[in-house]
Amino acid sequence: MFLIMHVILDRPPPPFFDCLASKPVLMPPMASFTKNIVDLVGNTPLIKLNRLTADLPDNVQVFLKAEWLNPGGSVKDRAARGIVLDGLQRGLLKPGGILLDASSGNTGIAYAMLAAALDFKLLLCLPRNANEERKKTLVGYGAELVLTDPNDGSDGAIVEAQRLSALHPEYYYADQYGNDANWRAHYESTGPEILEQTEGKITHFVAGLGTSGTCMGVGRFLRDNAPEAKVVSFEPDSPFHGLEGMKHMETAIVPPIYDVGVAHENRTCRTEDAYDRVRTLGRQEGLFVGISAGAATHIALQIAHAEAAAGREATIVALSPDGGSRYLSERFWNE
């Protein structure tokens, strides 16, 4: 309407400004629309850290892959979309049918969004102590929840999903921990996006391990297409940790899709260091991220300092799975 008025009045539409460069950017002449929320998954921005890297040389750069900007709010939109489309294509998930899985939250939210948009039902097993924000979001999307014993953690939810799957073979048990469509989604979308966004210059990719799908998919893609780039995985430093969505592999059920040979290096991160980075990303970069994103940033900055000390150039990408709004009820914000 706005643009039409300007055409009628024979005036050019006003420019919109790119804030720092003050470059006028003309809006496209036609409004466009999205046919289905599913089409908005992926193509997330790569955001450069500035103030947190002020003490590093210009040729050492750290970027966050901003996965919290997916429509369901996390990186798991990609894996869930891959798993759902694969299940539909193979006829394992029927329109109107039931998808069953275990999730500590983000995959569940992604499935729930897709279930509503693509018309199937979701039955989700998750630990009772999953935070209220996540449970309310799931209910908001209309998911049906099976709450499991908090003492059994995310593994307890997996065991319950396996039990329900054996009782109800008519459900599509999506099994994100063992489903190759999980890592393939990242091989096909996240990996190529990162390579293109860094113009092929990526030297290090940092990702935390949950199902390990992100690290397996992007890691394999980089090994095939940018063999000089280092793939760095990381996990919590102890079995009792606050890095939601991540697994301490030594003490957890190891996901069948996890291959320890994909990453060149595996590191650990303390929960406290992740909290600290979450706070500084919000306060010094304007990036309101979740805990595992804080952890990925912490590892990326460790690598950046080591590369700078060795006099090497580096382009480091830290995969940032979700945003801070998923953790509003946590206490660490004020600590």
Catalytic residues: 76, 292
Minimum CB–partner distance for residue 52 and ligand PMP (Å): 20
Q: Are 118 and 216 in contact (CB under 8 A)?
A: no
Provide the token pair at 99.
């998808």
Sign of CA dihedral 205, 209, 214, 215: positive
Q: How far is CA 327 from CA 135, 245, 295, in A?
A: 12, 12, 14
Q: Is residue 271 at the binding interface for ligand PMP, with CB under 6 A as the rule?
A: no
Binding to ligand PMP (CB under 6 A): which residues in 120-179?
none
Q: Which residue is nearest to ligand PMP (CB)?
A: 245
Q: Are 178 and 253 in contact (CB under 8 A)?
A: no
Query: Of 43-51, 82-90, 213-221, 264-272, which segment contacts ligand PMP by CB under 6 A?
Result: 213-221
Minimum CB–partner distance for residue 54 and ligand PMP (Å): 27
φ, ψ for residue 104, nearest 5 deg:
-80, 0
Which residues share a beta bridge with 102? 125
Q: What is the C-alpha separation between 263 and 265, in angstroms, rounded?
A: 5
Query: Of 26-34, 81-89, 209-217, 264-272, which segment contacts ligand PMP by CB under 6 A?
Result: 209-217
Query: Of 5-13, 25-33, 43-51, 210-218, which segment contacts ligand PMP by CB under 6 A?
Result: 210-218
Minimum CB–partner distance for residue 276 and ligand PMP (Å): 17
Q: Which residue's CB is nearer to ligand PMP, number 82 or number 213?
A: 213
Q: Are 49 and 62 in contact (CB under 8 A)?
A: yes
Query: Of 90-98, 165-173, 238-246, 263-271, which segment contacts ligand PMP by CB under 6 A?
Result: 238-246
Query: Of 37-45, 82-90, 115-123, 206-214, which segment contacts ligand PMP by CB under 6 A?
Result: 206-214
Angle at 252 between CA 229 and CA 115, to 5 degrees: 80
Q: Is residue 106 at the binding interface for ligand PMP, with CB under 6 A as the rule?
A: yes
Q: Is residue 208 at the binding interface for ligand PMP, with CB under 6 A as the rule?
A: yes
Q: Which residue of 72, 127, 213, 324 would you call a contact of ligand PMP, by CB under 6 A? A: 213
Q: Is residue 235 at the binding interface for ligand PMP, with CB under 6 A as the rule?
A: no
φ, ψ for residue 252, nearest 5 deg:
-105, 170
Q: What is the C-alpha separation between 257 and 118, in angstroms, rounded?
A: 26
Minimum CB–partner distance for residue 322 and ligand PMP (Å): 5
Which residues share a beta bridge with 61? 315
Q: Which residue of 219, 321, 323, 324 would you call a contact of ligand PMP, by CB under 6 A? A: 321
Which residues have CB under 8 Å from 154's CB, separation 6+?
Answer: 102, 104, 126, 127, 247, 252
Binding to ligand PMP (CB under 6 A): which residues in 48-77?
74, 76
Binding to ligand PMP (CB under 6 A): which residues in 284-313?
290, 292
Q: Which residue of 156, 210, 294, 324 would you call a contact of ligand PMP, by CB under 6 A? A: 210
Q: Is residue 245 at the binding interface for ligand PMP, with CB under 6 A as the rule?
A: yes
DSSP string, 296-334: HHHHHHHHHHHHHHTT--EEEEEEE-BBGGGGTT-SGGG
The binding site for ligand PMP (CB under 6 A) comprises 74, 76, 106, 208-215, 244-246, 290, 292, 321-322
